[in-house]
Amino acid sequence: MRIKRLTYIGDPILSLDEAKSYLNREGFAGDDNDITRLIKAAQGMLEAKTSLFIQKGTGEGYAGGWYDQAGGCHEFGRLPILSIDKVEYKAEDTTDYTVLGEANYELDDTHLIPMLAYVGDVDLPDLATDQIKQVKVEVTIGHEAADETIADLKQMIAWLVVKMYVYRDDPPEKLETAVDKWLCTRIVPNVGGI
């Protein structure tokens, strides 16, 4: 199940002051807005290229049926998933979602890729699991606070901010090439191929 980010909670893991220090722009306030945008863009680029959620936020995902695989679970394609906030489902003959009771599911984060696991005999009033057309999941994603994130992620975001600042007047593909070369030497390839 692919999880899409909906919102950000809190501040980016790289602060404006830290970014300005990397850029040697401590005494200049005139480009604070531009640097703030670069921080957000760098974090977004890193999230997109690594399948990692860096900053805490909310997300949602959809599955095309009750089970993605044997064992009664749906794998989440991105990390980390902090909690499952709501699970809803709809049958083939309806457009309305029904909320699944919290006692019927849990976050199974004991594996490399976290999963939505159904618990016991799931209570679906007057409906068999093979009649489920779609499952919708709302989750809390990312890291709790900047100090809990991997130090390398913060360094990568700082490096991206510097590169974006340097290449800001160049064609976007020049930055993209530089980023791809740098990332492939410093980070584990996409978890789960997603």
Q: What is the pLDDT of residues 36-63, one digit of tens each?
A: 999 998 988 888 888 889 889 999 999 8
Provide the whole-model pTM. Answer: 0.78
**Tell me, what's the pLDDT at 85?**
97
Q: What is the pLDDT of residues 135-189, one digit of tens each?
A: 999 999 988 765 555 677 888 889 889 988 888 787 777 777 777 777 766 654 4
Q: What is the pLDDT of residues 62-103, one digit of tens each?
A: 988 776 554 567 888 888 899 999 999 998 888 899 899 898
Average pLDDT over the chain reads 82
**Tell me, what's the pLDDT at 18?**
92
The Cα-based distances of 147 to 19, 50, 66, 143, 158 in angstroms read 16, 20, 37, 9, 15
Closest C-alpha to 164, from 45, 71, 77, 59: 45
CB atoms within 10 A of CB 147: 9
Least confident of 103-107, 108-112, 124-128, 163-167: 124-128
Residue type at 47?
Answer: E
**Tell me, what's the pLDDT at 178?**
74
**Tell me, what's the pLDDT at 149?**
59
**Tell me, what's the pLDDT at 17?**
93
**Tell me, what's the pLDDT at 78?**
80
Q: Is the peptide bond before 80 cis (omega within 30 degrees of 0)?
A: yes
Residue 192 pLDDT class (50, 70, 90 cuts): very low
CB atoms within 10 A of CB 12: 20
